[in-house]
Amino acid sequence: MTKIGIIGGSGLDNPDILQDAHDVEVETVYGSPSSPLKEGTIAGKEVAILARHGREHTIPPTYVNYRANIMALKGAGCDVILATTACGSLREEIKRGDLVILDQFIDFTRLRQVSFHERFEPNCAVHTGMADPFDEGLRSKLNAACDALDIAHHKVGTVITIEGSRFSTRAESNMFRLWGADVINMSVAPECILANEAGLPYAAVAMSTDYDCWKTDEAPVTWEEILEVFHGNVEKVVSLLIETIKALD
């Protein structure tokens, strides 16, 4: 039976949802992950939940140990990863509270470890294919669950990942739109890259919380706005993940 790793997953640790919950402390060859793993079962399926930024949100995006996080889930026996993330919308039609089932990314980070391979063995170069970085089987199940729950969502979307923790300048935001990005966040690209390197199918659902700063008819994004929209819509992300977990074999 598939064991599911969940990165993010705010609200899933509710004891009414996560059965037989217990913490598992993990160390990896890449150091400590962002949090202990909260393991248990949801809908009869084994899950391991990891808080990307720590349980008290103390780790800025650039300083998350993404390699340790992925290795912690792999070492715990997870077969797939479902990730959740807040994002800014770069498209008028992606409204606050909408969900986006990501299918592509643009990696605009520059300060992070984005590979497990710091050197190659002699004559054994490793180059991971990344044409379609998000697992299509998992994406299909997420989209089907959104349809079943009648959740406003977008079946595809390209995310651009920036360093943070600052938000974009208006020039950057407009440039990202011209590049074809639909949403913007600070975490998905290195996480997705590393999951692919580790051989773990990975999919991410992004919740739109704001319009970044490209829209001149409203104020630029603030952290307070992100929190307000996220907490106002987190229950539908929880419902989506539960419905998707039920569909996994």
pLDDT in tens, 34-80: 999 999 999 999 999 999 999 999 999 999 999 999 999 999 999 99
Residue 219 is assigned to a structural domain of this protein: yes
CATH number at residue 18: 3.40.50.1580
Residue 98 is assigned to a structural domain of this protein: yes
CA–CA dist 137, 133 (Å, integer): 12
Higher per-residue pLDDT: 249 or 89: 89
Q: By the 8 A CB rule, do 134 and 142 touch?
A: no
* Tally of domains within the chain: 1
Residue 10 is assigned to a structural domain of this protein: yes
Residue 123 is assigned to a structural domain of this protein: no
Residue 47: strand, helix, or coil = strand
Catalytic pick among 135, 210, 217, 249:
210
Q: Which domain holds residue 195?
A: 4-115+129-247
Instruction: State pTM to two decimals.
Output: 0.95
Residue 124 is assigned to a structural domain of this protein: no
Active site residue 147: no
Q: Which residues are annotated as a binding site for phosphate?
A: 10, 52-53, 85-86, 187
Q: Which residues are annotated as a binding site?
A: 10, 52-53, 85-86, 186-187, 210-212
Q: Which residues are annotated as a binding site for substrate?
A: 186, 210-212
pLDDT > 90? residue 11: no
